[in-house]
Structure 1
Amino acid sequence: MKLLLLYRRRWWLFYLPLVLCTAAALWWSATHWLVLPPGKAVIAAGSPQGSYSRLAQRYAEQLERTGLNVEIVYSDKQNGSLEQLMDARNAAGIGFAHGIYANARSPVQALAVVGQEPVWVFSGADGPASLAQAKGARVAAGAASSSSFMAAKVMLEHAGLRPADVHFDPAVGVAAAEALADGKIDVLFLAAGEDSQAVQLLTRQGNIQLLGTEHAGALVAQEPHLQPLLLPQGAIELRGDIPPRDLTLMSLQTHLLVRPEVHPALQRALLDAAIAIHEGPNFLQRHGQFPSFRGSDFPLSPVARAYSLGARPWLETLLPYGTAQQVELLMFAIIPILAIALILLAWIPRLFDWRISAALNHFYGDVKFLESDMDKIATENPMALRRLLERLDNIERQVVALDLPDEFSDRWYTLREHLAAARERLLKLRSR
């Protein structure tokens, strides 16, 4: 009987496939569904002397408090942080960049806008009083790939000047500031924070003037990556009245960036760190202004969008980073899968019990119908008892051929006894 063959091979046909399916489900859950977050984060910081280097250090300190191991990797380029993120061979998954670098082909996502850096435009003692007068001027704006140069090019075009109308100098930082003070260059463009050494040096020199941007709204309409920023009179130094009047500067937004494959839990940990680092007020920044999820130049991460709406796994509100995801995997994957597997393992023997019981009950039913027909036929048509005997022989042959597991032998012998009793009764009816 096929049933007995299945029963004897139940370990290979039922139990082993179930165990393998359970192991596959656990593996898939841990590697594709509820993947545990990494224990290490790699941050691309660009130049070791740049502002992103200091920012990366602050993020590393915040993340290490959650138990993460953080590595900071550097590059000798000004936009090295973004380039490292865009290089698939680089291990970095976190970085920073100005929004002016954003384009539709950027394979990175923004978690938030975490700050703004003014584009400072300084003019020397003999330099122009406005950008419109800078034709033929010697302009320092850094390398052609730098955000300062890109902003300078847009701002000069807005003032009516083409790149060929000025002479660009590759000097940057303090070297450019000293060149401006010495009269070696006429105009300096510098995208940097107020704590930049070059900015601190130039804003306090009496022969250096800080230029504002005229028609800033029109410039924003032309280049949305630049945003207007009001620098109030005396904001840099109140006693020295620096600047001597309100100025409208242009600014570049600083973005916290991640690769799309960065684990959602790590992205939320980064956003927690961003709030701790950037929420407080500072120069030209109100309390709570950053991090901001609006006006991002890079595509906003879906995790950041959900975070901005308050959506967060409830376990993360109770447990620390890493532990929450482990508990989530345990609660929603491991325990349910193992519970289903155990139920199925317990159900397989019951399946065989039910199937074998159904087969035996089928023969018991045939015997019962045959006994009912005995009394009726013996009274009405005694000659038909021979057909009943043939039916009984057929049933008995099937029962004898029924090869059942040992644990069902008692029920098999009981069925044989019922068949023997039915045969004995049938023979007595025929002998009348």
Structure 2
Amino acid sequence: MKPVLRSTMSRIRKFTSFSLRDLFASATPTVLAIAAVCVIAYLIVDPAPPKHVVLGTGQDNSAYDAFGRKYRDQLAREGIAVTLQGSHGSSDNLAQLNERKVDIAFVQSGSTDEAEAERRGLVSLGSLFTEPVWLFLREKPGTAPVTQLTQLRGTKINIGAQGSGAPRLFRQVLDVNGVAPGELQTGQLDNTPATVELLEGRIDGLVFAAAPDDPLIQMLLQTPGIYLFDFAQAEAYTRRLPFLTHVTLPRGIVDLGRDLPARDYQLIAPTATLVARDDLHPALIELFVQAAGKIHGGAGWFQQQGQFPSAKYTEIPVADEAAKYYKDGAPLLQRYMSFWLANFLDRMWVLLLALSALILPLSKIVPPLYVWRIRSRIYRWYGQLRTVEQAVETVKDAPPEQRAAAYATQMARLNDIENLVNQISIPLSFAEDLYGLRGHIQLVRLRIQALLGQPHDESPAATV
């Protein structure tokens, strides 16, 4: 008995269970429409950021070069490949930005102005660190150290590598001192050969505009016979040239044990900034600014903890994404998710709002479609039932033999219809419609039996 019982229960479940197939068929058009909207939005609404970016740095072994490697390592953790493009410095980097050879670059403040930056479509991601003007001079026996830049007239000074920001900067410094470029012999050798020239005594001095991390600066600060010029009027320079700041090189900062330097030095300093074209993807701007916070956020020779990066000290307009970071910190999603997942959700929030408005009306279409699909299995048999009735009606006036044959044919057809109806599988919630159909089939059978003059007994085919 148990196998029979299991077989009976299986048949009941088959013919009365919830129809997932019908639900899927009813919901498929809606799901496909929503999926199509998602795909279109993914392709059109704010494309995904590129996975590769070119960063303009500086000369080999310079601070720009060293920091470029740190940015490359930092962004590699987020799946962004950074190619480092060497250069002579700020002016060279600006030229490469304008020529679209690099996407983002280190640029020294004072290398351009706001109007020019806006005209060329450049934006700043903020200032990163100070780059003091280091004027190293060779000691001359029997001659007092230089204390005023006007004393440089007639000397040989390397004012920085061609393509760097130092030549333009130092010319501005000389100009506010009333010293014309022709009043001293200037050279524009790269930093390393210029240092060799200074040490060999072939030039009187050289100018750097770089972070103190630069190995050449570290070496020159400890080289006998070479001394650093003290910008005693540093505060006045910052008033005349607003992109400069006044910084102090503290006594003993180079080597406390040897007391190097033996006193405080006043220096003037532009700042290094990250500059990008204004079409750089906003997500990459956010990522670079966050990397800048990790790389430059600590304390240093000339900065306090958290002073950099900053939206200050730059003449180039700050990008909106960078300004938002300096005001509110990293975007909320990026604090708890990976860069790519947070960026995807951030790009899709507009789509999610649209879908929330779209899903509600579409969801109201699915239930009626599901109901219609289930009931259509039943309603189509009413057409067959109506055909049987019409066939019976057409022979009412025919001879008795012809009517009897037609009635018998329709009775057999009706039995076939009933057998097929008994095989219909529908959910229990629609059982009323199925039993209504079976009742109507029985009514037609009774009518045909009456026309045939048969007793009104239930046909065996009417049972399940």
* Structure 1 length-normalised TM: 0.69
2:84 aligns to what? Answer: 73
- Measure the CA separation in 2 of the matches of 1:62 and 1:36: 20
Amino acid at match of 1:98: Q
The answer to whether structure 1 residue 204 and structure 2 residue 215 are counterparts is no
1:396-426 per-position Cα deviation (integer Å, ceiling 9, x unaligned):
xxxxxxxxxxxxxxxxxxxxxxxxxxxxxxx
Whether the aligned pair in 2 keeps the contact of 1:141 and 1:172 (CA below 8 Å) is: no
Higher mean Cα deviation, 250-259 or 19-28? 19-28
1:163 aligns to what? Answer: 181
- Cα gap change, 1:20/1:86 in structure 2, threshold over 3 Å: closer, same or farther? farther
Whether the aligned pair in 2 keeps the contact of 1:123 and 1:186 (CA below 8 Å) is: yes
SS of the aligned residue for 1:189 comes to: strand
Q: CA RMSD in A?
A: 3.2
- Cα gap change, 1:312/1:142 in structure 2, threshold over 3 Å: closer, same or farther? closer
- Cα gap change, 1:19/1:294 in structure 2, threshold over 3 Å: closer, same or farther? same
1:124 aligns to what? Answer: 138
For residues 225-304 of structure 1, the aligned pairs below 5 Å read 225-304=243-322
Q: Which runs of 5+ in 1 are unaligned?
A: 1-17, 351-432
1:58 aligns to what? Answer: 70
SS of the aligned residue for 2:53 comes to: strand
- Measure the CA separation in 1 of the matches of 2:210 and 2:346: 43
Whether the aligned pair in 1 keeps the contact of 2:252 and 2:261 (CA below 8 Å) is: yes
Deviation at 1:108, TM superposition (A): 1.7
Q: 2:127 aligns with which of 113, 117, 124?
A: 113
The answer to whether structure 1 residue 189 and structure 2 residue 203 are counterparts is no
SS of the aligned residue for 2:255 comes to: coil
1:407 aligns to what? Answer: none
Amino acid at match of 2:200: D
2:6 aligns to what? Answer: none
Identity %: 27
Deviation at 1:307, TM superposition (A): 1.3
Deviation at 1:157, TM superposition (A): 2.3
1:42-73 per-position Cα deviation (integer Å, ceiling 9, x unaligned):
3222444432222111011111112x231313
SS of the aligned residue for 1:238 comes to: coil
Whether the aligned pair in 1 keeps the contact of 2:325 and 2:331 (CA below 8 Å) is: no
For residues 94-113 of structure 1, the aligned pairs below 5 Å read 94-103=104-113, 104-106=115-117, 107-113=121-127
Higher mean Cα deviation, 126-135 or 158-167? 126-135
Amino acid at match of 2:88: K
For residues 349-360 of structure 1, the aligned pairs below 5 Å read none
- Measure the CA separation in 2 of the matches of 1:331 and 1:198: 50
Deviation at 1:348, TM superposition (A): 11
For residues 397-416 of structure 1, the aligned pairs below 5 Å read none
- Measure the CA separation in 2 of the matches of 1:289 and 1:112: 12
Q: Which runs of 5+ in 2 are unaligned?
A: 1-29, 369-464
Deviation at 1:168, TM superposition (A): 0.6
Amino acid at match of 2:197: A
Amino acid at match of 1:74: Q
* Structure 2 length-normalised TM: 0.64
1:2-24 per-position Cα deviation (integer Å, ceiling 9, x unaligned):
xxxxxxxxxxxxxxxx9999788
- Measure the CA separation in 2 of the matches of 1:181 and 1:77: 22
- Measure the CA separation in 2 of the matches of 1:331 and 1:142: 49
The structure whose Rg is larger is: 2
**Count of residue pairs the alignment pairs up:** 334
Q: 1:305 aligns with which of 323, 327, 331?
A: 323
1:222 aligns to what? Answer: 240
- Measure the CA separation in 2 of the matches of 1:45 and 1:62: 15
- Measure the CA separation in 2 of the matches of 1:295 and 1:24: 47
- Measure the CA separation in 2 of the matches of 1:83 and 1:63: 24
